[in-house]
Amino acid sequence: MARSTFPITPRWPGTVAAVLVLILTIGTLGAVAYRAEWGSGLSAADWAAIRFTVSQALVSAVISVVLAIPVARALARRQFPGRQMLITLLGAPFLLPVIVAVLGLLAVFGREGVLNRLLEGLGLSPISIFGFHGVVLAHVFFNLPLAIRLILQGWLSIPAERFRLVATLDASVARLLEWPMLRAVVPSAFLVIFLICLTSFAVALTLGGGPRATTVELAIYQALRFDFDLGRAALLACIQFAICVIAAVLAWRVAAVDAMGAGLDRVVQRWDLSRPWLDFAMILAGALFLLVPLGMVVLRGLPGLTQMPETIWYAALRSVFVAGGSAVLCVTMAVALALRGGVFVAVIGVLPLAASGLVVGTGAFLIVFSFIRPSDVALVVTMLVNATLALPFALRAIAPAVERVAADYGRLGRSLGMAGWGWIRLIVLPRIRRPLGFAAGLAAALSMGDLGVITLFAGQAEETLPLAMYRLMGAYRMEAAAGAALVLLAMSLLLFWICDRGGRVDADL
């Protein structure tokens, strides 16, 4: 559609959101660099960290995507009771705080885990989760849900008419429909997961087995907390940005339209469905891999529920408050950016993925500290940073829907003199409810588990649930901490479910 000189919504909210994201990503990096005393360059160990980071991210992203394809394909083809519930649950690992997920993984794949008990029973030698493969395993566990979701979306976005057409031609669905769809969807899914794994810190450190598994993010941590070498931290963060940019450019050419938040409850009628057992085997395998560790978190957390101090509930409420605030901020920014549109906005939408969480936190601290006491704004900054970090996902869900509203109804709205808030309130928001709910749920759940920003800012009174859980562990209270982990898991999922559900009710117009 040709550009008109009469935009239906003002451009400033999108600009404000973009500036906010720029401040929190590039600006925080600048704040760290500004305070740096430049001297030391990169050591050999830093280069080793860069190599390890890139290689584990590549392998993790490839495996996540490759495994997600058959599971997504099976979910797209089969209808069965509880399918929608299963799809929601399969998304859970992506929402988990790292430490909770690692505990769950260890309970399954660890030395005393379910799997090794099974192997032992069968007289086989046990396996070890620690090392490069452990890092990859954990990253796949985290990101497979995202990959499944993105690819399933691709499958469900193929119009039913196309399947009918292919059926009448007696042609190959795989070659005519599925392959082109995968070529469009897989590269962007790969990119997102690659970027997530690139900035990973705790997973690699905990399961990596030693300094071999040093990531750039850990090197940044070391530079910030251990050597207090802000210059090196900034340099490493720049390198991390550079790697992300290269990856983004490589994957950019095949950028695809995908609507992560659109309905997943659709099943397209198909004429090429043989061998149902194969599909169900895929679904079962995916579900086992993703849900058994979750089940272990639940199982281990139950006894601890009675041992948690009462303050846990205050911390939990504070976390819900932060999560709610993040969700509102995040979808507000996403809608503002989506309404503004354009390539610039697409770039803004990827920036937070490339940012180092530690540098964002530290930079935000330096910026805030120049004006006010950080603990006074701990929860607000935590909301803002988490909203920004969740923005890429929210934008992916919301932007295509907003574009569709503009394409379908923009001219009608303008011819009726609708503009600004009235247009957003009456037309845009009701029409993007599904992706809006999904994005809000995602942002809420992701910030529920935040441990990066809050540790830097929080005083005694701003303890959130993950922080409380971590402090319990630090005081030997492992059982109570497991209980807190269960509460965290349940609340993250519940928040996601409520928001996602809210977007779906009566939204089938």
Partner 1 sequence: MLICDGVELRQGDFVLRADLQFSAGGVTALIGPSGAGKSTLLSGLAGFLVPHAGRILWDGQDLRSVAPGRRPMSVLFQDNNLFPHLTIGQNVGLALRPDLRLTPDQGRSVACVLDRVGLDGFADRIPAALSGGQQSRAALARVLLGDRPIVLLDEPFAALGPGLKEEMLDLVRDLLVGDGVTLIMVTHDPADAKRIADDVVLVAGGVAEPPVQTDVLFANPTAALVHYLGAGMG
Partner 2 sequence: MKNTTYLPAVAGLVLCATGASAETPVLQVMTYDSFVSEWGPGPAVEAAFEETCACDLQFVGAGDGASLLARLQLEGPRTEADIVLGLDTNLTAAARETGLFASHGLSVDLDLPIAWDDAEFLPFDWGYFAFVGNVGDAAPASLRALADSDAQIVIQDPRSSTPGLGLLMWVTAAYGDEAEALWADLADNIVTVTPGWSEAYGMFLDGEADAVLSYTTSPAYHLIAEEDDSKVAWGFDEGHYMQVEVAGKVAGTDQPELADQFLAFMVSEAFQGVIPTTNWMYPSVTPADGLPDGFETLLTPAKALLFSPEDAAAKRDAALDEWRAALSQ
| Residues lying near partner 1 in the complex (CB under 8 A) | 1-2, 4-6, 408-409, 411-412, 414-419, 421-423, 425-427, 430-431, 509
Residue 344 binding partner per list partner 2, partner 1, none, with a CB distance cut-off of 5 to 8 Å that depends on partner kind: none
Residue 4 binding partner per list partner 2, partner 1, none, with a CB distance cut-off of 5 to 8 Å that depends on partner kind: partner 1
Residue 209 binding partner per list partner 1, partner 2, none, with a CB distance cut-off of 5 to 8 Å that depends on partner kind: partner 2
Instruction: Give yes or no for residue 58 binding partner 2 (CB under 8 A).
Output: no
- Of residues 112 and 170, the one with the C-beta less far from partner 2: 112
What does each C-alpha distance from 138 to 96, 130, 372 come to in angstroms? 12, 10, 39
User: What is the closest distance, in whole angstroms, from the C-beta atom of residue 459 to partner 2 in the complex?
Assistant: 5
SS3 call for 479 = helix
User: What is the closest distance, in whole angstroms, from the C-beta atom of residue 201 to partner 2 in the complex?
Assistant: 8
Residue 417 binding partner per list partner 1, partner 2, none, with a CB distance cut-off of 5 to 8 Å that depends on partner kind: partner 1
Instruction: Give yes or no for residue 126 binding partner 2 (CB under 8 A).
Output: no
- Of residues 227 and 408, the one with the C-beta less far from partner 1: 408
Measured CA angle at 503 (ends 499, 505), to 5 deg: 115
Residues between 464 and 483 with contacts to partner 2, criterion CB under 8 A: 467-468, 470-478, 481
Residue 221 binding partner per list partner 2, partner 1, none, with a CB distance cut-off of 5 to 8 Å that depends on partner kind: partner 2
Answer yes or no: are the C-beta atoms of 207 and 161 closer than 8 Å. Answer: no
User: What is the closest distance, in whole angstroms, from the C-beta atom of residue 417 to partner 1 in the complex?
Assistant: 3
**156 HSE (CA, 13 A, CB side):** 22
Instruction: Give yes or no for residue 207 binding partner 2 (CB under 8 A).
Output: yes
- Of residues 126 and 430, the one with the C-beta less far from partner 2: 126
Instruction: Give yes or no for residue 199 binding partner 2 (CB under 8 A).
Output: no
- Of residues 363 and 441, the one with the C-beta less far from partner 2: 363
Residue 26 binding partner per list partner 2, partner 1, none, with a CB distance cut-off of 5 to 8 Å that depends on partner kind: none
Answer yes or no: are the C-beta atoms of 86 and 78 closer than 8 Å. Answer: no
Residue 408 binding partner per list partner 1, partner 2, none, with a CB distance cut-off of 5 to 8 Å that depends on partner kind: partner 1
- Of residues 226 and 421, the one with the C-beta less far from partner 1: 421
User: What is the closest distance, in whole angstroms, from the C-beta atom of residue 504 to partner 2 in the complex?
Assistant: 25
Q: Three-state SS string across 239-269, please?
A: HHHHHHHHHHHHHHCCCCCCCCCCCCCCCCC
Count of residues that interact with partner 2, criterion CB under 8 A? 68
Amino acid symbol at 446: L
Q: Three-state SS string across 440-471, please?
A: HHHHHHHHHCCCHHHHHHCCCCCCCHHHHHHH
What does each C-alpha distance from 89 to 148, 304, 327, 499 come to in angstroms? 12, 23, 20, 14
Instruction: Give yes or no for residue 458 binding partner 2 (CB under 8 A).
Output: yes
Give the 3-state secondary structure percentages of the chain, helix then strand then coil, rounded to 5. Answer: 75, 0, 25
> Of these, 70, 97, 110, 392, which contacts partner 2 (CB under 8 A)?
110
> What is the H or E stretch that residue 93 is in?
helix 92-95
Chain-centroid distance, C-alpha 439? 10
Instruction: Give yes or no for residue 385 binding partner 2 (CB under 8 A).
Output: no
DSSP 8-state code for residue 5: S
User: What is the closest distance, in whole angstroms, from the C-beta atom of residue 281 to partner 2 in the complex?
Assistant: 31
Residue 416 binding partner per list partner 2, partner 1, none, with a CB distance cut-off of 5 to 8 Å that depends on partner kind: partner 1
Q: Three-state SS string across 182-222, please?
A: HHHHHHHHHHHHHHHHHCCCHHHHHHCCCHHHCCHHHHHHH
Answer yes or no: are the C-beta atoms of 333 and 391 closer than 8 Å. Answer: yes
Give the separation between CA 178 and CA 47, rounded to whole angstroms: 40
Chain-centroid distance, C-alpha 490? 18
Stretch touching partner 2 by CB under 8 A, among 188-196, 264-272, 286-294, 455-463: 455-463
Task: Tell me which residue has tokens 């071999």.
Answer: 212
Residue 202 binding partner per list partner 1, partner 2, none, with a CB distance cut-off of 5 to 8 Å that depends on partner kind: partner 2
User: What is the closest distance, in whole angstroms, from the C-beta atom of residue 505 to partner 1 in the complex?
Assistant: 13
What does each C-alpha distance from 505 to 265, 267, 500, 509 come to in angstroms? 13, 18, 9, 11
Contacting positions for partner 2 (CB under 8 A)? 45, 48, 99, 102-103, 106-107, 110-112, 128, 130, 134, 201-202, 205-212, 218, 221-222, 224-226, 228, 309, 311, 313-314, 317-318, 321, 362, 365-366, 369, 373, 375-380, 455-456, 458-463, 467-468, 470-478, 481
